[in-house]
Structure 1
Amino acid sequence: MSIDAFKPSTFVLVHGAWHGGWCWARVAERLRARGHKVYTPTLTGLGERHHLLGPDITLQTLVQDIANVLVWEDLSRVTLVGHSFGGVVITGVADLMPERLLQLVYLDAFILPSGVSTFDTLPTDVTDKLRAMAALQPQPSLPAPKPKSLGLFEPEDVGFVESRLTPQPLATYDTALQLHHPVGNGLPCTYIHCTTPSFAAVEGSRLWAKENTGWDWKELQTGHDAMVSAPGLLAECLDELVYSAR
């Protein structure tokens, strides 16, 4: 491998629903120790920005959050990682500014085509139940799930996540992703499947990526919230991906 292959890379790690930039702390620490530059922005209305929660936060708001990070920090050749619902966000960002990106990494993530919302992918009885739950909240939002449903079982991991999850803005599930290019916009893409246990909610996205694309495919033997349950494995996987993409 050439000396250039060991130059540090830039990562922007995008969290999923109910999470915040905090969830990447263990992975970011490991990547920075390897010399990489790492950004872990929190999307509007979530995490330490939960005080901004309101009905006007749409999927486009979240896409613009990450696009603004790339512009204001003047980033280029970025490995953009989206976990779970964050996969929808990075698809939108890649559609807007592929010139700033090196590759996309979908970490056990949702993938939506243009014109489709997250609610469009769910059965009507499920969306009706979720809307009813959201209506009971002080702001229209989806209550956070239990950590066990995210594949977390160790007491330390459960405690770390449970105390930090915040409600998800309802309109982010209700608004459709609007794309002008195919998903991925021609960039190198990798899908990482967290296998132990497998997260059923993203099964359709996993199958689509595996059967309808030429994307790279990786598997990690851990649960859905891999950045919490297996930060070492995930950091090593991401590290390998940036070197292979050069």
Structure 2
Amino acid sequence: METPPMSSTSAKTFLVCHGAWSAGWAWKKMHPLMQAAGHRLVTPSYTGLGERAHLANPSIDLETHIEDMLNVIKYEDLRDIVLVGHSYGGMVATGVADRARDRVTQLIYVDAFVPDDGQSLFDINEPGRQPMLDGAKKGDGWRIPPMTSPPDTAAEDVEWLAARRAPMPVKCFETRLKLQGGTLTLPRSYIYATRFPPADTFGPFARKTKSDPAWRYFEIDASHSPNVTAPQALMALLEKIVA
């Protein structure tokens, strides 16, 4: 018997809100995996980062990056979106899901910040505030230099990352998220990267979501950026979540 063609209902559109200092390019390894599985992966870059680094300026904040993503949804006419927020992208994804409730069907946080209404990244990462601000003071005062890659990152990937990562406008971490439609009720999942957790930055979110019946909780044996260090494992987990 012939294998029936993949049902169009099983094909998903994944939209990634990437992490700080990063951009759409960092999800390069995931594109062929998504394509092979019959899904569409959309990985825009925020203003001031990646191929849009020439637009960097002191006024860029969290709202800028939320608007970046909302405009991708609008102009690409994306619907039934599986929204993925990685790291700082959890801040962005929360704002996007709030304002595009008719377009986003589920939200997946990958080792990411999960803010409540009125919280900034610095509010929910107090230990990181001063070191990051000190880093900005050593430069131009308004941008925070990139953090180092985890120790399990392959040498060629470290070189690839280091050549492309860009300083992060400090206002992105200072801006408080404003939810416009109240508490989010759409299906949400949290993926906690258990290898070399960075000073347990994401542990509190893992513990909170693991004990909350409103969430689905998963772990991945990878460091903070599984899209770089463990793409196959991340792909398998995303497939499991959306199946």
Q: Secondary structure at the match of 1:94?
A: helix
Contact kept in structure 2, 1:11 and 1:39, CA below 8 Å: yes
Q: Choose which of 142, 145, 150 in structure 2 pairs with 1:143.
A: 145
Per the alignment, residue 117 of structure 2 pairs with: 114
1:137 Cα deviation from its structure 2 partner: 2.3
- Which residues of structure 2 form unaligned runs of 5+? none
Contact kept in structure 2, 1:195 and 1:223, CA below 8 Å: yes
The 2-side partners of 1:168 and 1:4 are apart by 41
Partner amino acid, structure 2, of 1:191: Y
Per the alignment, residue 25 of structure 1 pairs with: 28
Cα RMSD, aligned residues only: 2.0
Per the alignment, residue 13 of structure 1 pairs with: 16
Percent identity over paired residues: 34
Per the alignment, residue 103 of structure 1 pairs with: 106
Structure 1 residues 121 and 8 mapped into 2: Cα distance closer, same or farther (>3 Å)?
Answer: closer
Q: Choose which of 126, 129, 145 in structure 2 pairs with 1:127.
A: 129
Structure 1 residues 81 and 17 mapped into 2: Cα distance closer, same or farther (>3 Å)?
Answer: same
- Does 2:80 correspond to 1:80? no
The 2-side partners of 1:21 and 1:3 are apart by 27
1:139 Cα deviation from its structure 2 partner: 6.1
Per the alignment, residue 168 of structure 1 pairs with: 168
Greater helix fraction, Structure 1 or Structure 2: 1
The 2-side partners of 1:120 and 1:141 are apart by 18
Contact kept in structure 1, 2:223 and 2:229, CA below 8 Å: yes
Of residues 137-146 and 39-48 in structure 1, the stretch that sits farther from structure 2 once superposed is: 137-146
The 2-side partners of 1:239 and 1:129 are apart by 37
> Cα deviations across residues 142-169 of structure 1 (Å, max 9, x unaligned)?
1001112xx5432122222122111111
Per the alignment, residue 55 of structure 2 pairs with: 52
Q: Secondary structure at the match of 1:99?
A: coil
The 2-side partners of 1:67 and 1:213 are apart by 29
Contact kept in structure 2, 1:54 and 1:139, CA below 8 Å: no
Per the alignment, residue 221 of structure 1 pairs with: 221
1:66 Cα deviation from its structure 2 partner: 0.8
- Which residues of structure 1 form unaligned runs of 5+? none
Contact kept in structure 2, 1:31 and 1:239, CA below 8 Å: no
Partner amino acid, structure 1, of 2:228: V
Contact kept in structure 1, 2:196 and 2:223, CA below 8 Å: yes
Q: Choose which of 85, 90, 95 in structure 1 pairs with 2:93.
A: 90
Per the alignment, residue 65 of structure 2 pairs with: 62
The 1-side partners of 2:12 and 2:45 are apart by 21
The 2-side partners of 1:142 and 1:12 are apart by 26
Contact kept in structure 1, 2:192 and 2:202, CA below 8 Å: no
* TM-score with structure 2 setting the length: 0.91
The 2-side partners of 1:24 and 1:101 are apart by 20
> Cα deviations across residues 159-183 of structure 1 (Å, max 9, x unaligned)?
2212211111110001101113455
The 2-side partners of 1:211 and 1:224 are apart by 21
